[in-house]
Structure 1
Amino acid sequence: MKTNTIFNTLIRVSFIAVTVFFAACSSDDGIKFTPGQDGFFIVNEGGFGNGNASLSFYDKTSASVTNNLFESTTGKPLGDQAQSMTVYNDFGYIVVQNSAKIEVISTDDYSLVATISEGLPSPRYFLGINASKGYVSDWGADGSTGTIKVIDLTTNTVTKTISTGSGTNQLVLVGNHVFAANSGGWSNDNSVVVIDADTDEIIETITVGDNPSTLVVDEDNDVWTTGTGQTVYNTDWSVNTEESTPAFLAKIDHEDFEVTLKIDAPSVGMGPAGLKVDSNGSTLVFKYDGSIFSTDTETVSSTDDFTKIIETDFIYGLSIDASENHIILGISPDYTNPGSIKRYDITGSFIDEHTVGIGPNGIAY
């Protein structure tokens, strides 16, 4: 997953913080699976530059995974670096960043409906607005000129571009307002922009902290974000602590567009990252200091309120299956061999593990 932190790793030998979405189901027996109710898709990012992204599906009835769903159904490979997937109005929108496209599949039979490739140099996340319109965040050809592409869902074409910031990443919809996190991409940013989904115009730019990447909405419709901060290195590759900034967790009031809480990590490079929220909208789950932590949205005020709930190796993706309130971890020991998903209940109790594709980074249903 080419997040700002991975780019910082490649460019500045920084830490890795990742985010999410997952894939696919078997229809060999003619039975239609309902995403969420009967299972969830798993997105396997693949090794960057290798063109081996894939889609899997976890079937809740059989407690088993079907792999390589997209290729076996459509007869073509998914592409290079599957970043995310969103299910919206019975269609699955699979965003394949390094292949500069979105593959649209039917959730009825997993057949290919359309490929959107014009006007998407570096797409990241899809958000459905209404039956005829969707938004896609995009990093631009230079990896930092962030935009949101407006998609006509009736023709599956890009109709408009909204300039947003650097490395525009995750999107959430609250009422008719879209919040978009500018993660910095190849550069840096510190803002979340708010867009009127009726007019496609930016109505507010909120300064939150360096390189915000993930967004979730709580039970009160307020928006939470995590940012990776910025790690600055000296010429000898030691960390310049004076110029570096820590990762953070922040809360944005959805009506006033003001930051009402900001918690900085105690040291550079710790997290939090990969933010998710439980099905009740009251518990935040995120990666922090190499493990999975949670906290309550109503009472959190400092890192002392973070509770470690899962400790395991090679965590790459983090998601919540809201239909059962389960935590789904994507486990990726490397980027050449198959990874796995691990399922836990919301308290962190282990349920099971299944082999999937390379680099599992999230789920969709």
Structure 2
Amino acid sequence: MNFLSWAFIALTMFSFTACDDDDEKEKVDNDLKGNVALIANYGMFNGGNGEFTAYNISKDIVFDNVYQSINGVEFNSKIQHMALYNNNLYIVSNSGDKIDIINAQSLKQEMNPITDVENPRFIVVDGNIAYVSCYGATPDFSTMPDSYIAKIDLNSNAVVKKIEVPGGPEGLAIANGKLYVAINYANNVAVVNLLTDEVSYIEMPAVTSYFAADDADNLYVTMVNTYSNPTTEDGIAYINTQDNSVEAYTFNGISSNYASTIAFNADKTALFVATATYDENWKLSGSVQRFDVANKTFSTFADNISGINGVSVNPFNNDVYALVSPDATTAGRVYIYNSEAQEPDTIQAGLSPNWVIFETIK
């Protein structure tokens, strides 16, 4: 067989392979259309193997490794948080010190990432400005003196200012023209004036992690018991953003995981909060607690969830998603409960599922 014959065969095989890849991508694109839960999987603690699981709720189809399937390359970072804004997904890539930007409809990465952030944690967007909590380049985990909030101009995707917020800023929320910052290594919440970037503080009973906003632009925040800042006053706190007064509601065992641990239902009448504790064998187990906003009381929604990592609520139908991570090297699961907490459906996820975004892909 001559060289031209071999070349023809090789070209034909390449063409078939390319066509197969294109057909697979087209199938994924078509099957994703509908109401979708996009699940971020953190990955391994010492690796850069974060990924996404897409669950098409309308068609009951689950897609693993959806980023690699659509973009043709591995994500290659740990996913700390993500936010949807203006048809873009902003992905906080912790191990890569960057914010990746993905088209929320196609799930393709079409823009260069935002850099000049060190150990980023959480992102929130206000108009054309994004705010990212960052631990800093070489964090001192005792007091976090060098942590900050990166202020980013989304027109240029450039960091325009770093606002000093010591103490380990974690979750963020914008309410009543102010940026509220949960502080994870000191007993306070920072408040940033968005006009002047000046920082003030609200004293809290415990360190804080993540926020949920009600319809009046007031905030609930998780208060957690951690190794570095132990407390018996963990629970949730209500912050009136008009005067920054605080009402605390104690519930021991609120999850200190870095994941979605607090979420409102659609009409903001109830909060769902993840609890988690380690047993004598260092196995994580916990529950989803329902906090009645009117009565200010907790009740157990779902219990005995081994490996619970977080909780999220589908705003379209009020289904409650319990994010489960059996261990650091085993694929995760998501338990999906209806609003009556009946026997859940189960879908597979990647390593350490931690956040969910619900959207309609057209």
Q: TM tier, shorter chain?
A: 0.7 to 0.9
Question: In structure 2, do the counterparts of structure 1 residues 254 and 347 end up closer, same or farther at CA, with 3 Å as the change threshold?
Answer: farther
Alignment partner of 1:83 is 2:75: no
Structure 1 position 227 matched with structure 2 position 218: no
Partners of 1:48 and 1:232 in 2: CA distance: 19
Question: What is the aligned partner in structure 1 of residue 338 from structure 2?
Answer: 345
Cα distance in structure 1, aligned partners of 2:232 and 2:227 = 6
Task: Identify the residue that residue 163 of structure 2 maps to in structure 1.
Answer: 162
> How do 1:174-189 and structure 2 match up within 5 A?
174-184=175-185, 189=186
Q: Show CA shifts across 1:122-176 (max 9, x none).
A: 111111110x211111111233232111111122221111112311111112232
The secondary structure found in structure 1 opposite 2:350 is coil
Q: Tell me the amino acid that sits aligned with residue 337 of structure 2.
A: Y
TM superposition shift of 1:43: 0.3
| 1:306 is aligned to 2:298 | yes
**Shift, 1:318, TM fit:** 1.3
- 1:70 alignment partner, SS class: helix
Task: Give 1:77 shift.
Answer: 2.0
Deviations 1:330-364 (A, max 9, x none): 11111212111111123322341111111111101
Structure 1 residue matching 2:70: 3-state secondary structure: helix
Residue 331 of structure 1 contacts residue 341 of structure 1 at CA under 8 Å; is this kept in 2? Answer: yes
Q: 1:205-354, aligned counterparts within 5 Å?
A: 205-231=201-227, 244-259=231-246, 261-265=247-251, 270-271=253-254, 274-288=261-275, 290-300=286-296, 305-311=297-303, 312-354=305-347
| Aligned counterparts of 2:196 and 2:69: Cα–Cα separation in 1 | 40
- Superposition RMSD in Å: 2.2
Q: Identity of counterpart residues, as a percentage?
A: 23
Q: Is the 8 A contact 1:181 1:213 kept in 2?
A: yes
Question: Residue 170 of structure 1 contacts residue 213 of structure 1 at CA under 8 Å; is this kept in 2?
Answer: yes
| Aligned-partner Cα distance in 2 for 1:103–1:232 | 31
The one-letter code sitting in structure 2 at the alignment partner of 1:120 is V
Deviation at 1:118, TM superposition (A): 2.7
Q: How does 1:37-48 map to 2 (within 5 A)?
A: 38-48=35-45
CA distance in 2 between counterparts of 1:98 and 1:298 reads 41
Secondary structure, counterpart of 2:67 in structure 1: helix
Q: Distance in 2 between matches of 1:228 and 1:217?
A: 18
In structure 1, the residue matched to 2:117 is 120
Greater relative CO (CA pairs within 8 A, separation 6+): 1
For each residue in 1:156-197, what CA deviation from the matched residue of structure 2 results, as whole angstroms up to 9, or x when unmatched?
A: 22111111231111111223222111112xxxx111122233
**Partners of 2:340 and 2:213 in 1: CA distance:** 20
Question: Which one of the candidate residues 136, 139, 143 is aligned to 1:140?
Answer: 136
Q: SS state of the match for residue 251, structure 1?
A: strand
Structure 1 CA distance, aligned partners of 2:106 and 2:275?
38
CA distance in 2, matches of 1:214, 1:153: 23
| Unpaired segments ≥5 residues, structure 2 | 1-24, 277-285
Amino acid at match of 1:165: P
Q: Aligned letter for 1:98?
A: S
Structure label with greater radius of gyration: 2
Shift of 1:64: 1.6
TM-score by length of 1: 0.80
Deviations 1:32-66 (A, max 9, x none): 957xx611210001111122110111101211211
Contact 1:125 1:170 in 2 (8 A): yes
CA contact (8 A) 2:308 2:322 kept: yes
1:27 deviation in Å? 5.4
Candidates 43, 66, 69, aligned match of 1:69: 66
Greater helix fraction, Structure 1 or Structure 2: 2
> Matched residue of 1:286: which SS?
strand
Structure 2 length-normalised TM = 0.80
Amino acid at match of 1:254: T
CA distance in 1, matches of 2:61, 2:194: 39
2:7 alignment partner in structure 1: none
The question of whether the paired residues in 2 share the 8 Å contact of 1:49 and 1:80 is answered with: no
Tell me which residue corresponds to 2:20: none
Q: Secondary structure at the match of 1:192?
A: strand
Q: Is the 8 A contact 1:90 1:106 kept in 2?
A: yes
Alignment partners' CA distance in 2, 1:265 and 1:142: 33
